[in-house]
Amino acid sequence: MRLDDFLARELAARREAGLYRRRQVLESPAGATVTVAGRRLRNFSGNDYLGLAGHPEVRAAFARAAERWGAGSGAAHLVTGHQRPHHALEEALADFTGRPRALLFSTGYMANLGVVSALLGRGDTVFEDRLNHASLIDAGILSRARLRRYAHAEPTDLDSRLAGEGHGAKLVVTDGVFSMDGDVAPLSELASACARHAAWLMVDDAHGFGVLGPGGGGSLAAAGLGMDEVPILVGTLGKAFGTFGAFVAGSEDLIEMLIQAARSYVYTTALPAAVAEATRASLALARREEWRREKLAALVARFRAGAAELGLPLMASQTPIQPLVLGEAGRAMEVSAHLRDAGFLVSAIRPPTVPRGTARLRITFSAAHEEADVDALLAALEETGAAA
Ligand SMILES: Cc1ncc(COP(=O)(O)O)c(C=O)c1O
């Protein structure tokens, strides 16, 4: 088949299934309101949970560091790209997570690929929650280990699968907060299952850091778990911390092993030093300003109370990710388009990002929102008939 024919066929199939994806061009910075095609929209689709992406101190740190260090790092970490700001951020992240070391990666996707494929190979087994983020699933596939998927947030299912695998290393991998459902993994129970079967536990807390637990320490801090239970902890910097990048936190030897063997760490350019400096500033704000978490929790509670009154089909999530499952992809697109007409940016999430028949609006909240934004969204949801 000619490439042109193949592409035309594949794209047409996606259009027909209502799964065609399009980007929109934003004409404003990330924030509680954004401009798209000249229109101001209230934004309920971002991951800037604490409202730090545009914070003056974070922007100033970024600008100062760009002046001092330039726009790019110039090389991979193991060549000449590892600069003082990267190192200082790693130390700050180690301190934040209460672990001996942290290692900076350029993205969360790359951190996940790097960790799993550095630790596992043929003959090993990786166990993944069915609703894990795509980067974790891809990491499992890339590692060449056997991939076993257990029922979502079901430690008993995990336990029996662990019991059924005899040889090789066993790694259990889970989102801390599930990115499309907003629920928190049953970490203590997963850790107990791992302990029973000598498996290693890895948590990707992309959506928990900054948001959950005292000081924004994440879902492990909220559950009172440490390095003994969860030796491998991944976090991202592009969500609550408002910048870009990711990290892995763990023991001295874990980090040294990743420096040797994580290919997505070794074979890529270090992120710009200015991003690291901006992140140090936002990390300090995230730790210090408890009011951001309190405000966020109050906004989420207000939304849930209002949505329950309207009879909207809420999920069990208590986090800033509040999905409204609508079923078919076309329906989710329709409601999202109505909301846009009413002045709200709320993305529809469709398969394969979520299972078939569970297309949804992924509504997210930020400390940058106000109560009036939540009330306006509820009124718009009522008008668009999202409950029907
Ligand atoms: C759970 C989870 N892990 C990893 C990532 C990837 O992080 P990054 O955007 O830094 O690549 C995301 C989302 O982007 C995520 O939701």
For 267-309, the pLDDT digits (tens) are: 999 999 999 999 999 999 999 999 999 999 999 999 999 999 9
**In CATH, what number does 19-50+290-384 get?**
3.90.1150.10
pLDDT value for 165: 84
Cα–Cα distance between 34 and 199 in angstroms, integer? 45
Pairing, β 348-349 against β 359-364: antiparallel
Task: Tell me: pLDDT of 388 over 70.
Answer: no
SS3 81: helix
Residue nearest to atom 14 of ligand 1 (CA): 108
pLDDT value for 385: 74
The DSSP-derived string for 283-326 is HHHHHH-HHHHHHHHHHHHHHHHHHHHHT--B-S--SSEEEEEE
pLDDT value for 18: 84
pLDDT value for 152: 97
Residue nearest to atom 5 of ligand 1 (CA): 108
Cα 108 to middle of ligand 1, angstroms: 5
For the segment 255-270, what is each residue's pLDDT rounded down to a tens digit? 999 999 999 999 999 9
**In CATH, what number does 56-288 get?**
3.40.640.10
Determine the atom of ligand 1 nearest the C-alpha atom of 237.
10
Measure Cα distances from 87 to 210, 216, 247, 376 in Å.
21, 22, 12, 44
Cα–Cα distance between 259 and 201 in angstroms, integer? 20
For the segment 105-133, what is each residue's pLDDT rounded down to a tens digit? 999 999 999 999 999 999 999 999 999 99
Q: CB of 205 closer than 6 A to ligand 1?
A: no
Q: CB of 275 closer than 6 A to ligand 1?
A: no
Task: Tell me: pLDDT of 26 over 90.
Answer: yes
pLDDT value for 387: 60
Cα–Cα distance between 134 and 355 in angstroms, integer? 12
Task: Tell me: pLDDT of 386 over 80.
Answer: no
DSSP one-letter code for 228: T
The radius of gyration of the chain from alpha carbons, rounded to an integer in Å, stands at 21
Determine the atom of ligand 1 nearest the C-alpha atom of 132.
1
For the chain, give every residue range classified as CATH 3.40.640.10.
56-288
Across residues 221-248, what is the average pLDDT? 98
User: Mean of the per-residue pLDDT values for the chain?
Assistant: 97
Cα 207 to middle of ligand 1, angstroms: 8
For the segment 170-220, what is each residue's pLDDT rounded down to a tens digit? 999 999 999 999 999 999 999 999 999 999 999 999 999 999 999 999 999
Question: What percentage of the chain reaches a pLDDT higher than 90?
Answer: 96
Determine the atom of ligand 1 nearest the C-alpha atom of 133.
1
pTM greater than 0.95: yes
Determine the atom of ligand 1 nearest the C-alpha atom of 110.
11
Pick the catalytic residue: 170, 207, 295, 369?
A: 207
- The question of whether 251 is a catalytic residue gets the answer no
Task: Tell me: pLDDT of 81 over 70.
Answer: yes
- The question of whether 207 is a catalytic residue gets the answer yes
Cα–Cα distance between 105 and 83 in angstroms, integer? 14
Pick the catalytic residue: 239, 264, 282, 336?
A: 239
